[in-house]
Structure 1
């Protein structure tokens, strides 16, 4: 694979915290890469380090050691605003990510430092939302509508990378399927690259090109989704698949 295909990369990331005098290793020498136009799935149980990794990728936290690169240029230790120019987070509870006092139009435009009407209209159409929702506040919208608006807000920023942290886990099955279809469509039509964090292996198997399995802050297995899930090499991956079958 040519290095030019890699849009985002992390090398040997480590992070530890101290809790009640005890050192907890949240990330242990984690490395990953994301190719242009690719969807990378990260799976593992709660506490495996999935969300911690995304917080470091988005510069919400700084690693104790290791490096982050965007298109080959290091950005380790930069501000969240710096990283926000090329990547955006989509959170589990989209409704909570909006100011409840603010109408959607203001929330989206302010968060992206200005988004023209023509561009906003095109993006709303792409995510399947009517422009009338711009006059509503988060509390009067459904979970699926809020999640779509959250994705629209990210796209308005011109970020080419979406970081989805359990972005569908709070949605009902029907809405979940709609959001997954939307992410696939955005990858195909807009060329968006996505890191999709989830505890749901079945969902990841349908959506993602490659998969990364995390346990206790470590990446224990990584590769093309079909190969990893069809012939898992690590016992933990086998255990996750066994639980899925049960």
Structure 2
């Protein structure tokens, strides 16, 4: 894998420098359709780049203008559970950083642990718990991206969280704030695990985001992250969990999520 080869390939199609990176989670990829004058670059066309196989993930970068800003949007991410090593999971973040982005917005679909949440709610992530069993920065450190030991105290940038909360209030959108716990997946968690995670202080659980945010923090990118609660986690309700429910709720709440994200982008 050669970072410069990836950048060189992208620059064959994209000359403008994106100022904002956006990662779209399960069922939330339609925001990319609102990008003006889009230039699409498939992950599979990039040398050494991981290909997304998760349902509802198109697997491509989309470059163009959104709310007056030139952006690069990941229409679908890659996950550890797909069998990709962590260095590949965080590669897209490092590519976007190398392309020039100055802020990163991350979205995901998550299971609600906090019993005050309801399916379809939004949660602003203020912190996370890494329960994936691995850290993406393990191995030789690349000082071009960041220091050997990366501070995570403000991984979810306070100023961007304030902006998101103010914007949600203006739009009359309920935006909870809480802690996201990342698991490796791909199996959903057991009811016993969810009870344990609640004791640990987690409000929502999912299978992404944590590695990407660690990588973003490592290379000094300000991060805003929002979860869509697409289901209540195992044991909260007496129902089976399914990926169909995740995609259905994502589609149902996509318009509101897009409205919130677009309004935030306008103010950045």
- Asked whether the two chains share a fold, i.e. TM above 0.5, the reply is no
Between Structure 1 and Structure 2, the one with more helix by share is 1
What TM-score results when the alignment is normalised by the length of structure 2? 0.26
